[in-house]
Amino acid sequence: MKAVQFDRFGGPEVLTYRDVAAPEPGPGEVLIDIACIGVNHLDIDVREGVSGLPVALPHTLGTEAAGTVADVGPEVTGFSVGDPVATYAFRSCGVCDACTAGRPNLCARIGTLGAHDPGTYCQRIALPVARVVKLPDGLSPVGAVASYKLAPAWEALVDTAALQPGETVAVTGAGGSVGSAAVVLGKHLGARVIGIASSDARCARIEEAGADHTVNYRDSDLTEGLLALTDGKGVDLVFDVAGGDALVAAIKGLAWGGRVALVGAHAGEVVPIDMIDLFRRHLTIFRCGRYTRPILESVLAARAAGLAAPPIHTTLPLAEAAEAHRLMESRAFFGRILLTTQ
């Protein structure tokens, strides 16, 4: 079968489309014929060797994929050949306090597909049943892979910050893949959604994705923008994928008792936060973003029941994975970049 691997860390050019041995499903494993694969920023960090995660070379990237079951190993129940399925990225230890408390996304020994373990940039993968979920009727493999970013958004907005209908949520980095998923999910949950981005062109795309309002933080004062859109009250929740100055300004635009769900910090990892303001206005900060298998199943079920997919920028053949990485590094895209094996 074909896979995209790299033998040394480096730029997109190290990605090599090559023949590798096809996997066989071992005991408790499902063999998946992959149809569609998600490209993530993590893939670039792993390829460059800057992820800080243990990676054995040659390495196959990829944390997300969907397709159909091609074979099942011994002791597998609940999956049959031909079932449409998607991968679940994380592997937890199963025995620590977090795992036994039903919070495997907080396991300190968590492993990620395509980082700690060989990933999905290939035509077939054998995975333990714990890392495979069935697709609900009516959801295609492409529709499933397009849904993945709704899972960290769901973990933050539904499970952790409990966004309520009628509340106002401001989404930083709303032009990115997780941010645009939070815009779509926020609307689905009945909230008023304010998308925050760095250009008018991105703001227009975010409104097309469903945001009620947008704020271009490069050209205007973000705090004032959030206060103006809420009659001076401030927003109830900030969903932050950016960190940096946008996070600081968005916190100042929170209502009393407001909360912040932190999902990323690509725009600035160290930020000054006024602790007195935090105490005085009873603000709460949550760290979110790593989803569980039940959350992924909830997202896929909601998608099949009508939840819209976040935007897709483009779909490229697996053989052009290097081109997909160049596109992601260019930042000249809006929505997800997907790969197909067909």
CA 335, CA 27: separation in Å to the nearest integer?
A: 37
User: Nearest distance from residue 130's CB to Zn ion, in Å?
Assistant: 13
- Of 35 and 110, the one with the shorter C-beta distance to Zn ion is 110
Residue 85, beta-bridge partner list: 67, 134
- Of 131 and 205, the one with the shorter C-beta distance to Zn ion is 131
* Footprint of Zn ion (CB under 5 A): 92-93, 96, 99, 107
User: Nearest distance from residue 101's CB to Zn ion, in Å?
Assistant: 10
Angle (CA) 282 98 284, round 5°:
10
What per-residue string of b and e applies to 291-307 under the rule 16 or more CB within 10 Å gives b?
A: bbbebbbbbbebbbeeb
- Of 57 and 108, the one with the shorter C-beta distance to Zn ion is 108
- Of 92 and 177, the one with the shorter C-beta distance to Zn ion is 92
User: Nearest distance from residue 167's CB to Zn ion, in Å?
Assistant: 33
User: Nearest distance from residue 294's CB to Zn ion, in Å?
Assistant: 16
Torsion on CA atoms 113, 111, 271, 186, rounded to nearest 10: 60
User: Nearest distance from residue 93's CB to Zn ion, in Å?
Assistant: 3
User: Nearest distance from residue 96's CB to Zn ion, in Å?
Assistant: 3
Sheet holding 213-216, edge to edge: 213-216, 192-197, 168-171, 235-240, 254-262, 284-287
- Of 93 and 265, the one with the shorter C-beta distance to Zn ion is 93
Q: Is the peptide bond before 58 cis (omega within 30 degrees of 0)?
A: yes
User: Nearest distance from residue 298's CB to Zn ion, in Å?
Assistant: 21
- Of 99 and 163, the one with the shorter C-beta distance to Zn ion is 99
CA 101, CA 98: separation in Å to the nearest integer?
A: 5
- Of 92 and 180, the one with the shorter C-beta distance to Zn ion is 92
Quote the radius of gyration of the chain (alpha carbons, Å): 20
DSSP state, residue 96: S
User: Nearest distance from residue 90's CB to Zn ion, in Å?
Assistant: 10
Residue 51, beta-bridge partner list: none
Q: Is 129 helix (H, G, I), strand (E, B) or coil?
A: helix
- Of 103 and 233, the one with the shorter C-beta distance to Zn ion is 103
The one-letter code for the residue type at 123 is Q
Among 237, 337, 338, which residue's Cα sits nearest to residue 288?
Answer: 237
With CB atoms as reference, the residue minimizing the distance to Zn ion is 107
